[in-house]
Structures are given as structure tokens and as C-alpha cells.
Amino acid sequence: MVRIVMALVFFAASFCAAAEDGSELANNPFARPDMTDSGVSSGDEPKGWPEQLRATLIDGARSLANIDGTLVTVGENVDGATVTHIGEGVVTLARGEKTRTLHLEDDAPTSTRRASRE
């Protein structure tokens, strides 16, 4: 039993000494990935419109849409386009004078739900 305790003390002491030598990890394993690079340089207008409407949740002014994996409400921007309307299975986007309407695809694994008022 004394040998086990001595081994643990030696291990702990060597571990602490290794941590104090000033060496740092090359990468922080707890750092969040940098998700700011969208492929668009600052000052450039995005080249394409959002492509896929995945789901809509209708609840009046609090309606939500999942566009290309991003949850948005009316007035928010996605890929440089402003969401102007969210309806059942449909979202209207505007960029400048141009508008585009996205629809849920019949064969896509998406959903539309009307929020219940409880």
C-alpha cells in the first residue's frame, strides 16, 4: 500500500513539474472553431441566394425559418438577404430591389409546424 501511495505522489510531482516548464499546447482543445469565414471578403456582396428552406414554424410575429441550417425570423439577414415574410412552407427574401421566394420541397426531410397557443 505504501508503494502505491509513493508511486502516486511521484507521478503527481512529475506531472506538476512538466506543467510548470512553460511549454504550451500548439492548439487550444477547448477553443471554438472560427466560423466567421463565409467565403465572402468584406465589402463584397454575396454571390448567391440562400438555397434551401428546411423548415418553418409559424407563430405570428415570432415565426421562425430554417434556411440552409440557420434559424431566422422576419427582418434578419441570411447570406446577405433579408427575410421579409415567413409563411407555412414559404419564406420571402429581399436583397436590394430583388426578391426571392423559397418553398419547402415535397421530398426533403423538412417540417412545418404551427405553434400552439397554450
Query: Tens digits of per-residue pLDDT, 27-43?
Result: 777 777 666 655 444 44
Kindly indicate the confidence band of residue 6, based on its pLDDT and cuts at 50, 70 and 90: confident
- What is the reported pLDDT for 10? 73
Joined grid coordinates for residue 3: 508503494
- Going 86 to 90 to 91 to 96, the CA torsion angle's sign is negative
Query: Tens digits of per-residue pLDDT, 50-102?
Result: 889 999 999 988 999 999 899 999 999 998 999 999 999 999 999 999 999 99
Secondary structure of residue 93 in the 3-state scheme: strand
Residue 102 CB burial class (10 angstroms; 0-12, 13-18, ≥19) = buried
Joined grid coordinates for residue 81: 438577404
- What is the reported pLDDT for 114? 53
User: At residue 24, what are phi and psi to the nearest 5 degrees?
Assistant: -120, 160
pTM beyond 0.85: the answer is no
